[in-house]
Structure 1
């Protein structure tokens, strides 16, 4: 669909849904950028602004732990007790012809992480917003179980790791770093915790901020019951710090400040060992989630460029997992120099596939100013995809990876093996340099592992 869908089936279906809430037909319907799993559309009705959140097809909801009906019920409940969740005004019905989802009253603020981080760049500003995020999270975790809608699943650590392992095997089981992480998770399982309401996707990008103030908590599709350390850790993953990886708590503050603010707001006492386990767990979870995006695109459930390119972000998480787990290796292995990168001679003669991709990307740059809104966002994603193709022509896939992964997940090979950590580090650096060379942790890892700037 294009940027403005006036007169389309989307607008007509939305008009039917709004009528059930006593609201007039939508105006200025515009697709919002982002949204790797769901569509979001902003519009006006009766002089107010609203947001439609939907899955256009049943295929997009396959494999999800909760449907939009349970998600909407959970949002209504937490909104009613004072959590900064949006107010839901109407849910979609089959007769609307729009898939599944709901309409929410729009909240002030921006979800854009880079804008949020720029507006809170000072030490005091970053800590102030981090304190608000921690307080809101403590409030979410303190919600009364009895008031929650039925159908919310409970995440048990052992069952969660078993689920990740099943995904890994289904996807081919040939990524050594993911295998290493899964084995570590199995060997270090924490005892089950007294369950709390878990948001499941609590991070910059899923909250609204106006200047220095938290104004909303969005995207409750992964809500469940579980260990509060899971939410605390997820917000601190390297990928969700964006350009501020030096501030572990959501790119805003230190872990000490993050934990102190959470505990001061009534959250449970933070166990740093449990926190680290969940940080590894959710990093592994997101690695497999990115991996799965490729399958979703390949099978036709969602053929957007964004879906395909997110699959290549698996390499970000592989690098992050190594940084989290390399402390398990002996000092001699952590200090071992890396082997050199494999390289191919520069191309000659006719243009290679990579050079053709570069040529197309350069042409796309000339038409950027003709696009706006979601089309402009997809244009940037497409250029990113072409950049991967341009770099990928020289990348090599090691057929021994599957055998190494099986050995690591079985525990027959470990980071104590001479040269193994150095090999994994080199592979992670080279792969990420192809997939996402601007990922901030890449420079950090290069300096730490090779001394390069």
Structure 2
């Protein structure tokens, strides 16, 4: 773990005047960037801050814009009345901490599980209002480096990535073909946050407070494009964190969310366009998970978290089938599922690979995790999750790849009208998700709906 104490203290002295740094600790969240919380005590007293950073410029090389542009956008959003953090300084090359910027720390709840257990009554309206404010930011206030998304070109890029990753996952091929067939006409571009969901918002939850949305975080995927993309992203099944009965953010209904957005000045919601983006972003995240595995395999990011997220593709494949099964004839939707593969026999003789993995996982749980703190404890839990996936995989021997079927779906040579195809896809998605993400809430729902 890098020692940022001296360079960060020098940076804060440069932008805020003499003072003392204390309480520096890495926050556990942030799938792509590091976040560090700290306090700075100067002549005007103590203030709470967060450093958002990438360790090097190379880490940012494949991104459409760097941290200076991102920081300028966050500042523009904050100045435009959006509940974005207040940026106080941007790292320079000579600061010796990679690239990034420092913000004032917002003290509020960020855990989706905690928020969704008892969401403030105003939260859904707050989410709709805040998104309308983001979409209303004037073009002149948005930094020049923020790109404009061409939906057709972006879909073609997703397809190219899929093929480069093997092109062998039928559920993903089905979704790509559907998106190609339902590509909407271009929309008047607005600022799209790009990651507007539970996990990237903070909520006032303290007893005695009115409560409500406190901050919108993680602006690194922002671009100009169709506002329906933002509307749909937080409504993906994965970002409801188990609250499947509340399709908008795990908080409420689509219609209440749309009404709040429109009441705050957002454009009228086109339901067909919203559905396209719900499928598209679920597809996007399925490929994003596969990309995490590629990042680990290439050596670009060797953390165990990357390989674990790489196996979350199965969640999105399950969700894609759930979104697209309505395209199948009624008789196919009612068709029973084929059986699952037979379970492995009970082991005898020398320890099996599965038992050896179990022993290592148990050792991490009993000897490593209890002694770890902060981000190290998070990494221990991720390592245990990785070994759990391997154990279940060794038991089941389930694979998701079928290059010939994926190619036929991409080419439009077959569809969900083919007898038995939907049932096969459902069975494969259930079995693969049971290996990779057995606690995924949508898995239990799909089993009930599909009879699996």
The question of a shared fold, defined as TM-score above 0.5 by the shorter chain, is answered with yes
Which of the numbers 177, 180, 189 marks the counterpart of 2:183?
Answer: 189
Distance 1:57 1:346, change over 3 A: farther
Question: Is 1:31 aligned to 2:30, yes or no?
Answer: no
Rounded Cα–Cα distance in structure 2 between residues aligned with 1:213 and 1:110 = 10
Contact 1:283 1:321 in 2 (8 A): yes
User: In the alignment, which residue of structure 1 is the partner of 2:244?
Assistant: 245
User: In the alignment, which residue of structure 1 is the partner of 2:79?
Assistant: 80
User: In the alignment, which residue of structure 2 is the partner of 1:150?
Assistant: 144
Which of the numbers 32, 41, 45 marks the counterpart of 2:40?
Answer: 45
Rounded Cα–Cα distance in structure 2 between residues aligned with 1:53 and 1:255 = 33
User: Could you tell me how far 1:371 is from its partner in structure 2?
Assistant: 2.2
Output aligned runs, 1:386-401, within 5 Å.
386-396=387-397, 401=402
User: In the alignment, which residue of structure 1 is the partner of 2:14?
Assistant: 20
Aligned length in residues? 440
User: In the alignment, which residue of structure 2 is the partner of 1:93?
Assistant: 92
Question: Is 1:202 aligned to 2:196, yes or no?
Answer: yes
Distance 1:11 1:257, change over 3 A: same
Rounded Cα–Cα distance in structure 2 between residues aligned with 1:153 and 1:399 = 35
User: In the alignment, which residue of structure 2 is the partner of 1:434?
Assistant: 435
**1:134-156 C-alpha deviation (Å, 9 max, x unpaired):** 10000000100111110111112
Which of the numbers 121, 130, 134 marks the counterpart of 1:136?
Answer: 130
Rounded Cα–Cα distance in structure 2 between residues aligned with 1:180 and 1:399 = 14
User: Could you tell me how far 1:400 is from its partner in structure 2?
Assistant: 6.6
Name the stretch that deviates more: 388-397 or 281-290.
388-397
Rounded Cα–Cα distance in structure 1 between residues aligned with 2:103 and 2:62 = 24
User: Could you tell me how far 1:172 is from its partner in structure 2?
Assistant: 1.2
Rounded Cα–Cα distance in structure 2 between residues aligned with 1:169 and 1:290 = 15
User: In the alignment, which residue of structure 2 is the partner of 1:347?
Assistant: 347
Rounded Cα–Cα distance in structure 2 between residues aligned with 1:109 and 1:53 = 17
User: In the alignment, which residue of structure 2 is the partner of 1:377?
Assistant: 378
Name the stretch that deviates more: 200-209 or 297-306.
297-306
Rounded Cα–Cα distance in structure 2 between residues aligned with 1:51 and 1:198 = 24
User: In the alignment, which residue of structure 1 is the partner of 2:322?
Assistant: 323
Unaligned regions of 5+ residues in structure 1, if any?
none
User: Could you tell me how far 1:63 is from its partner in structure 2?
Assistant: 2.2
Rounded Cα–Cα distance in structure 2 between residues aligned with 1:12 and 1:27 = 11
SS at match of 2:35: strand
User: Could you tell me how far 1:19 is from its partner in structure 2?
Assistant: 2.3
Contact 2:39 2:47 in 1 (8 A): yes
Unaligned regions of 5+ residues in structure 2, if any?
206-210
**1:135-193 C-alpha deviation (Å, 9 max, x unpaired):** 00000001001111101111122112111111111111111110000000000000011
